[in-house]
Amino acid sequence: MGATELKRRGPLVALFLFLATLGLWAPAQSLSGQDVVRGPLPQEVQERVLELANAPATIRVQGDTRIPSGGTVQGDLMVLGGHLELEGWVQGELMVVNGSLELADGARVDGSVLVVGGQASGVEGASLGGPALVYAAPLHYRIRGGRLEGIEESGRLPTHFLDTDLGFGRSRVTLRAAGPYNRVEGLPVQFGPLLTTGGSNPLSLQAFGIWRSEAGLSLDTERMGYEFTADQAIGGRGTMSAGLTAYSRVQPIETRGMSNLETSLATFFMRRDYRDYYEAQGWSGYLELRPIRLPVRLRTAFREEEHSFIPEGGPWTLGDGEDPWRPLPAVAEGRGRFLEASVLWDSRNDPDHPTDGWWTEVRATQQVGGRLRTIFHPTSGARLESDEGRPFARVTWASADVRRYARVSPSTNLKLRVHGAGALGSSPLPPQFQSALGGEGSLPGHPRFAVDCGARALETVNAADPDEEAERPAFAAYGCDRVSLAQVEVQQALPLVWDPLPEDWAGSEWAGLLRIQPTLSVFVNAGRGWAREAEGLVQQPDAPLRGDIGVGLTTGSVGLYWAYPLNRKEQGLNFFVRLNHRF
């Protein structure tokens, strides 16, 4: 890093060092007069919580719960994600996970009391048969087949490969997929060490290389990516962190409503990559807040990165190798500096199979410096002679995704979603900030990219370097500058249950995985897009309203679906398989 770069980034580095110092010296606090254990949740505590949660005899409830005076619970009790008001008697152990506990005078618990991710009050006036422990850090988990599984904060299952206790902290070597199998990288594999210190404000350091199977077995550093991150917890309660990261990686423009697994399988088996990509290299600094009492995550970040076009490669697939890949969009290139903010509210009762609650995410990006430019003529598609290209206006972009899950009856669920994304101003967006609809992830009754504001009807351009002999055709745009999408789905559980295992296996993990109860799904989708115009840039038309209806038959996360378009019916009935819920 040169002197000029250090001078420009100096204020952010100083801010991070200040926050790290604040995190290291912040004293432990009290909640309602009750001392709690700060810092990350110890491994042995997480294992104990999961053991009790998955025990066949444990009574497990979700949400706010009240046990009145005179009420009795026979056995161990666990409350997930809610406030427990206990006036009666629990004849066993009591655990409250990601919630709070209020004990009335005279309340009785025959076993121990454990509160994770919350607070407890009234302990002094209650009769307890064991110790009462309170941990401020929440438990990150998912429910799979009726069982609780601990996960990392990122949503991944925890790994303990080469896990080493260093005294002042723990280190482990990570080896995992960094994204889906795709037509640019093949399989990106993330590898490297991860170090986490102990204490109430742990510092996490990770240094990952990203090997791409498309590059072959050799570790060619020029064809590899990387990600170096330092994350410092602040305040001693696991609710705030600040970090710096430097990276070089291939970014998807959109996930298009498809999971990494679905994208990987479609690419490998059918030679059909649902996503488009570009290369991003740079650094960012961020601050994140995760309150214990609220299901919300707030994040603000500054990032400076270089965007560039990256051509499709030649990953091995089972599909016809002679069939060419779909061209990638010719993204706007150059260096930009961006301010970002996001708010995520997740009150769902189950992150994998929600039947109640809200999931809402609002994101905004403002370009504050740098320049992104196109290097192609807006009508002919020819490469411009000037290296300066035609600049885009500074990006001002936002998105909102609101989802509501409601149980209409014991066997009927309603799912609603409204999504919108795009430019806040009147200028067109660079292709890597545009959005598109169509296909199995959004409008399954219509072709992929049915709502792209004519981007794939434009003449392709040569995105390769002029000095290279091989030309790389690319689309001059990716999608629309604004899109909106509405989805409604009703799920009805059918009175058919098949459990192949004997009753002795009831409550086991295998019983939950093999138990089959089909669900009938009926859905309606509608979406459209808008384009913005500017002199010297590609001109695109607005995309008309598209809608479809469909039905599905699901069990667990696997579903068979049929969708039919309500307009532009040239595609007819579309049958497809999903390995995840539609939303």
407 and 544 in a single domain? The answer is yes
Identify the pLDDT of residue 396.
Answer: 97
CA distance 524 to 487: 6
pLDDT, tens digit, 9 for 90 and up, residues 8-26: 444 444 444 444 444 433 3
Average pLDDT over residues 94-114: 92
Residue 158 lies in a domain: no
Q: Name which of 219-233, 399-413, 457-471, 534-548 the model is least confident about.
A: 457-471
Task: Give every CB contact of residue 340 below 8 A, 6+ residues apart in sequence.
Answer: 299, 300, 301, 302, 303, 363, 364, 365, 366
289 and 412 in a single domain? The answer is no
Quick one: what percent of the chain has pLDDT higher than 70? 83
302 and 349 in a single domain? The answer is no
52 and 111 in a single domain? The answer is yes
Last residue of a domain, one of 149, 183, 202: 149
pLDDT at 163 over 80: no
Say whether pTM exceeds 0.95: no
Q: Name which of 382-386, 431-435, 455-459 the model is least confident about.
A: 382-386
Residue 323 lies in a domain: no
213 and 94 in a single domain? The answer is no
Residue 154 lies in a domain: no
pLDDT at 144 over 80: no
199 and 108 in a single domain? The answer is no
CB atoms within 10 A of CB 490: 14
Residue 491 lies in a domain: yes
> Are residues 95 and 78 in contact, defined by beta-carbon separation less than 8 angstroms?
yes
Instruction: Read off the CATH number of the domain in which 573 is found.
Output: 2.40.160.50
C-alpha distance across the termini of the chain, in Å: 43
Which residues constitute the domain of residue 515?
A: 336-583
Quick one: what percent of the chain has pLDDT higher than 90? 54
Residue 512 lies in a domain: yes
Task: Count up the domains in the chain and report the number.
Answer: 3
Average pLDDT over residues 554-571: 88
- Mean pLDDT in the chain? 84
275 and 167 in a single domain? The answer is yes
What residues does 195 pair with on adjacent strands? Answer: 171, 205
Identify the pLDDT of residue 23.
Answer: 42
pLDDT at 291 over 50: yes
25 and 99 in a single domain? The answer is no
398 and 538 in a single domain? The answer is yes
The better pLDDT of the pair 349, 363 is held by 363
Residue 193 lies in a domain: yes
Average pLDDT over residues 507-521: 65
402 and 473 in a single domain? The answer is yes
